[in-house]
Structure 1
């Protein structure tokens, strides 16, 4: 039996977006994330397949990175009709309840509807949606 892979952390998670610039701007203004890099290619490096894309990376703090792909030649993205909207989400951590309430106020001040805080027994959460 071989030893298990020794993971140190998640490098990044990647999602699809409609517009890379609008997505980067939204995450910067709403959540204070810093744009770190972007690259565009015509061919997928892993497969060699022709499929132009823009790939952006945003710093979430604490060594965490979130990435997005803009895929202009692919059909418009949709939602999984078999999965409720509340199931698929990204959760970010703040230092304490005061920081959570301040984040909620900041997000609402930008005209975004926020649900919560919701108490889950071990932590509290707020919920809102990225329109991109």
Structure 2
């Protein structure tokens, strides 16, 4: 048995229409499907909802639920805002910069470009407060990924024993981490 791919990833949103319009305008995602019911199919709980599906490219689907009868959504106060995020890949650094300029021109506050050595990223929040990352590969990504692949199990084993950052991939940070 083997998983084929992610069918969709679902998050909660504050406003269904605003979410569809924002992802369309800011990230050029197409609105592909909406489902709305008064009962949750899996639990049969009476609870109206709107379930949205957006085309995130290459067969990837990003979905949202608006839940008008539930308390206002929040985030886990024990998890830093930078941890939980949705990351999307873009073609290259030129495209990443174009997205950054587009987002900023439309009033979205953008952090980065951050150089993670194997890829470069920008970060921002959607109207519901979800952190979004756009990432492009570094030109040397394939070679770096091969080096990381060779040490991944050793790193995991060391981390599981010490809970301290293993030094197997220190070479990644030889390039100065920077924010432009």
What TM-score does the superposition give when structure 1 sets the normalisation length? Answer: 0.94
Unaligned ranges ≥5, structure 2: 129-180
Aligned residues: 128
Residue in structure 2 matching 1:81, options 73, 77, 81: 77
Residue in structure 2 matching 1:97, options 93, 97, 114: 93
Which residue pairs with 2:58 in the alignment? 62
Give the deviation of 1:79 after TM superposition. 1.2
RMSD: 0.7
Give the deviation of 1:28 after TM superposition. 0.3
Residues 78-111 of structure 1, C-alpha deviations (whole Å, 9 max, x = no match): 1111011111110000011111111111111101
How far apart in 1 are the matches of 2:91 and 2:110? 19
Residues 24-72 of structure 1, C-alpha deviations (whole Å, 9 max, x = no match): 0000000000000101101110111111100000001111100000001
Whichever of the two has the greater Rg, that structure is 2
Residue in structure 1 matching 2:43, options 43, 47, 50: 47
How far apart in 2 are the matches of 1:73 and 1:85? 25
Q: In structure 2, the residue corresponding to 1:90 is in which secondary structure?
A: strand
Unaligned ranges ≥5, structure 1: none
Runs ≥4 in structure 1, deviation > 6 angstroms?
Answer: none
